[in-house]
Amino acid sequence: MSFSLCRYALPWSLVASLAAIALLSSPTSAQQSSPAHMRASVNAQATPITPRRGHTLAGASQGNVIQVALRQSQHDTAPVAPLRQPTLGAQLHSEIAFVQDLSSAAVLYDQNSDQARPIASISKLMMALVVAESGLPMDEMLSISDEDVDRMRHSRSRLAVGTKLSRASMLHLSLMSSENRAAHALGRHYPGGMPAFVRAMNDKARALGMRRTRFVEPTGLSEQNVSTPRDLVKLLRATTNEPLIQRYSTDESHEITVGKGRSLKYNNTNRLVRNSQWDIQLSKTGFINEAGHSLVMVARIGGRDLAIVLLNAAGSYSRIGDAVRLRKFVETETNLAML
């Protein structure tokens, strides 16, 4: 009898031992018996969310202007390839470059946009705006006098002293070919003369909110005519509402008749207006040594009217090349943002 009980007692003891070992080795028991293990488990569940990525539509060196959020799952821990960073800034030959959508006011490219610089003949856009809003008769004949001759920089002109043209033709040549004598004559024939005209230019700048802009004469030959790209966008916005300024500034060429029936043909200083791939709504170029080569325009790109400002380029061809590069950049980055 005792032998029989002993024979059965051994297996039950073995079973009890195995059960105890299994209980001690279970995850629940391990976590309850070890506070360190419990803390590790809690921390593992609190994985931080990876910050969302943004694709820059402005030059990498200029900071983010527009971002398109690409959301990433909290549980997505796979490595993410970095987005391509634009390097357009290194490709531009203009010191200052700025692109803004006139409808949405979104800034698409920004390089040194807060700097006030001499703007040269871009000043003629404000001159044209004052003339267009003055209500003066556009068919009135004006004359070129000795006062209109540039003795500061000795810039050339094909309009001899004594030449008579209509106010419309003077404005046309000023905008399309940057004719300095014509621009000066327009200011001189303003009611109150040149002082009143320059005052009207500055008053209009203040009315448009161009707080860092100043004019001392209408041609842009003075380096004291200064503005910023953001101010110039406000001027571009205002001048696009004037059909006469739009047409005159974007005409490819214009022919006038001067003394003794002699004809003079003028061409636009912005050769992009002759390029069928561009839809330019308004344009103006400028150059003096202090300002470098400059170009401002409103171009329709991808169905949007974009204001483009380029200041202090290394040469007249450089500003054209920069405009082409900016257009490609905006088109490419906008397409990427829509993906």
pLDDT of residue 194: 98
What angle separates helix 229-239 from helix 243-250, to the nearest 10 degrees? 110
Residue 78 lies inside a defined structural domain of this protein: no
CA distance 304 to 282: 14
Report if residue 142 sits inside a domain: yes
State residue 27's pLDDT score.
43
Domain of 241, CATH number, reads 3.40.710.10
213-260: pLDDT as tens digits:
999 999 999 999 999 999 999 999 999 999 999 999 999 999 999 988
| Residue 88 pLDDT | 63
Contact of 293 with 321, CB cutoff 8 Å:
no
Residue 127: inside a domain, yes or no? yes
Q: Which of 98, 99, 100, 102 is nearest to 238 (CA)?
A: 102
> What share of the chain in percent tops pLDDT 90?
67
Over residues 284-309, the pLDDT tens digits come to: 999 999 999 999 999 999 899 999 99
Domain that holds residue 275: 88-338
* pTM, to two decimals: 0.74
Q: What amino acid occupies position 240?
A: T
- Note whether residue 273 is domain-resident: yes
pLDDT at 336: 53
- Tally the domains of the chain: 1
Token duo for residue 285: 């170029």
State the Cα–Cα distance between residues 213 and 222, nearest whole angstrom.
Answer: 13
Task: Answer whether residue 16 is part of any domain.
Answer: no
Q: Is residue 218 part of a domain?
A: yes
Whether 142 has a pLDDT exceeding 90, the answer reads yes
Asked whether the predicted pLDDT for residue 160 surpasses 80, the reply is: yes
Catalytic residue positions, numbered: 121, 124, 178
Residue 147 lies in a domain: yes
Residue 225 tokens read as 């005519």
* CA 92/CA 328 separation, integer angstroms: 12
Distance CA 290, CA 224 (A): 10
- Alpha carbon 266 to its chain centroid, in Å, reads 30
Say which residue the tokens 């004809």 belong to.
263
Euclidean distance between CA atoms 120 and 126, whole angstroms: 12
Neighbours of 212 (CB within 10 A): 13
Percentage of residues in the chain with pLDDT exceeding 70? 72
Order of all β-strands in the sheet with 94-101:
107-111, 94-101, 304-313, 292-301, 280-288
| Predicted confidence (pLDDT) per residue in 2-55, tens digit | 444 444 444 444 444 544 444 444 444 334 333 344 333 333 333 333 333 333
Q: Is residue 73 part of a domain?
A: no
Cβ neighbours for 62, distance < 8 A, ≥ 6 positions apart: 89, 109, 110, 111
